[in-house]
Amino acid sequence: MPIKVLVVDDSATVRQLISKMLSTDPEIQVVGTAQDPYVARDKIVELNPDVLTLDIEMPRMDGITFLKILMEQHPMPVIIISSLTQAGSVVAMEALHVGAVEVIAKPGSAFSIGNIGPQLIDKVKAAAMARRIERRPRTLPPISASPTTAGSVSAASVRPSVLKPAVTKPPLTKRFHNKATLLLGASTGGTEALRDVLTNLPADIPPTFIVQHIPEHFSKAFADRLNQICPFKVKEAQEGDIGLPGFAFVAPGDFHMALVWTGEHYKVALKKGPQVWHQRPAVDVMFDSAVAAGAAPFATCAVLTGMGRDGADGLLKLRQNGAHTFAQDEASSIVYGMPRVCAEIGAAERIVSLREMPLALQGTYMRHVVA
C-alpha cells in the first residue's frame, strides 16, 4: 500500500509542485491538497491520509494553531515546510515541539520550493514510520478561529513558549579527563528526544557534541532553544570551537562536524564533503572523527530515534575502541531505525529507554571525573 499524503499550502503553485515531486515515487500517493486548515480538516476526515505536509504561513489560520488542534484531536505524522528566514526557523522549532515529526526548508520564496524533491520523499517515508498516539475515530470537530489565532504566524507570536528566560548556568565543580566527551546522534523525532535527554543532565557535563539531522539555518534555532532550557551552554558549532566542559555543540545544518584532538582539547572542524547515508551533517562522520582523535576510551556515546542507519557503523567502531555506547529502545523511539541497526550489529553496549538515557549517560561519563 502506498503512503497516502495530503498537501496543505496556501499557494496553488506550491501544492502542484509538491504533489508532482512526491508522485515521482511509486511508494507515495498524493490523495489530495488543501489551501488552508479548514479545507484540510474536511479532507483529513474524508481521505484519512498517512502523512500531512503543512505550510506554516497561511491565511485564516496559521499552521502552528492548526497543528496544535490536529495533535489534540487527530494525531498523525506531520511534516512542516517552512521558510529559511529567522522567523521561519523559530516557528519550525515550535512546530516540532508541538508534535510535527519532521521539518524541511523551503529554500525559495513563499511560492517556490526549489529542489527539495529527494529530501521531501525521504522525510515522507520517515514520517510514515513514525510512532504516534493511537488515532481516535475519524472525526474532527469544526475549526473555530479567533482573532488571536487566525492569520499568519510570526516568530514573535511563538517565542514566549519556545524561548523561556535563560536558565542560570551554575559554575562547574567537576574536572574531567581532558579527552572525556559525550557524543549524541539523532534524526526523526530527535529534536524532542535530545531536549528530554539534555535538560535532564546536570551543568557539569564533559564537552558534548551533537549531530541532529536538521536543515541549514534551523540548527541555530534548535541550539538557541536548547541553550534557553539546559543548565549548561549550548551553541551551534563553528569552525575552530574549543570543546570545553559545560558546553554542548550542535552540528550546523548542511555541514559535517568532526572532532580534532589538539593535544590539550578537542576542536571542531566543519566541512561540506559528500553526504553520508543521504545526510549532512552525518552522525557517522562525527563518530569516525572521534575514533581518529583517540576519544573512544573516554567517550560516552548514544544514538537516538531516527530513520536509516546513520551512526551505527561509527558507534560500533567507538565500542570496539573502548567507548561506552547506548541506543534508544524501540518503545520510546519515534522511528526505530538508527537505534535498531545499532542493536542488530552489536554497536550498542546497552539499549535503554529515553527516560533512562540521561541517568545512563551521566553514570558513564562521570567515571572520567579526575577531581
221 and 360 co-located in one domain: yes
Q: What residues contact 320, with CB distance under 8 A and at least 6 apart? A: none
* Percentage above 90 pLDDT, the chain: 71
- Residues β-bridged to residue 83: 106
Confidence of residue 6 (pLDDT cuts 50, 70, 90): very high
In a shared domain, residues 190 and 270: yes
Instruction: Examine the domain organization and report whether 121 and 199 are in the same domain.
Output: no
75 assigned to some structural domain? yes
Per-residue pLDDT band for 63 (boundaries 50, 70, 90) equals confident
Alpha helices in 175-280 (DSSP H): 190-198, 218-229
pLDDT at 62: 84
Report yes or no on 221 lying in a domain: yes
Answer yes or no: do 238 and 116 share one domain.
no
Count of the separate structural domains present in the chain: 2
pLDDT at 333 over 70: yes
Task: Extract long-range pairs of 343-350: CB within 8 Å, 24+ residues apart.
Answer: 345/312, 345/313, 345/316, 346/316, 346/319, 347/303, 347/312, 347/313, 347/315, 347/316, 347/318, 347/319, 348/303, 348/315, 348/319, 349/319, 349/324, 349/325, 350/325, 350/326
- pLDDT, average across residues 177-197: 96
Q: What is the mean pLDDT of residues 206-232?
A: 94
CA dihedral angle for residue 279, residue 15, residue 192, residue 323, rounded to 10 degrees: -10
* Co-location of 302 and 222 in the same domain: yes
Mean pLDDT of the chain: 87
Task: Answer yes or no: do 225 and 357 share one domain.
Answer: yes
Claim to verify: residue 189 and residue 126 sit in the same structural domain: no
Task: Name residue 80's beta-bridge partners.
Answer: 54, 103
Please report which residue ranges of the chain form alpha helices under DSSP H.
12-23, 37-47, 63-73, 86-98, 117-128, 155-162, 190-198, 218-229, 283-292, 312-320, 338-344, 357-365
Cβ atoms of 31 and 57 closer than 8 Å: no
Does residue 338 contact residue 317 with C-beta atoms inside 8 Å?
no
Give mean pLDDT, residues 41-54. 95
Average pLDDT over every residue of 352-363: 97
By annotation, the residues acting in catalysis are: 187, 213, 310
pLDDT tens column, 82-118: 776 666 688 888 999 999 999 888 766 545 566 777 8
For residues 306 and 101, is the Cβ–Cβ distance under 8 A?
A: no
Domain for residue 139, yes or no? Answer: no
User: Whole domain around residue 28: which residue ranges?
Assistant: 3-132
Same-domain status, 99 and 191: no
Contacts of 301 (CB under 8 A, 6+ apart): 182, 183, 184, 287, 290, 315, 318, 323, 324, 325, 326
| Interval 163-176: pLDDT, tens | 444 456 777 778 99
Q: What is the pLDDT of residue 91?
A: 85
**Residue 170 domain flag:** no
163 domain-assigned: no
Query: Is residue 334 in a domain?
Result: yes
Does 150 reside within a domain? no
The packing angle between helices 218-229 and 190-198, to 10°, is: 30
| 312 pLDDT above the threshold of 80 | yes
How far is it, in rounded angstroms, from Cα 227 to Cα 195?
Answer: 10
| CATH code, domain with 349 | 3.40.50.180
Question: CA 222 to CA 195: how far, in whole Å?
Answer: 10
Count Cβ neighbours within 10 Å for each residue of 125-155 and write b for 16 or more, e otherwise: bbbbbbeeeeeeeeebeebebeeebbbebeb
Q: Are residues 111 and 240 in the same domain?
A: no
CA distance 315 to 238: 24
**Half-sphere exposure of 216 toward its Cβ, with a 13 Å CA cutoff?**
10
Considering only residues 157 and 72, tell me which one the structure prediction assigns the higher pLDDT.
72
SS3 (DSSP) at 18: helix
Rounded distance, CA 44 to CA 42, Å?
Answer: 6
User: Both 246 and 114 in a single domain?
Assistant: no
Residue 161 belongs to some domain of the structure: no
Per-residue pLDDT, averaged over 194-214, amounts to 96
Q: Of the residues 67, 98, 132, which one is the last residue of a structural domain? A: 132
Q: Do residues 258 and 289 lie in contact, with contact meaning Cβ atoms separated by under 8 Å?
A: yes
Of 57 and 94, the one with more pLDDT: 94
Give, in order, the Cα–Cα distances in Å from 136 to each of 44, 54, 108, 139, 187.
13, 21, 37, 8, 27
Q: Is the pLDDT of residue 280 over 50?
A: yes
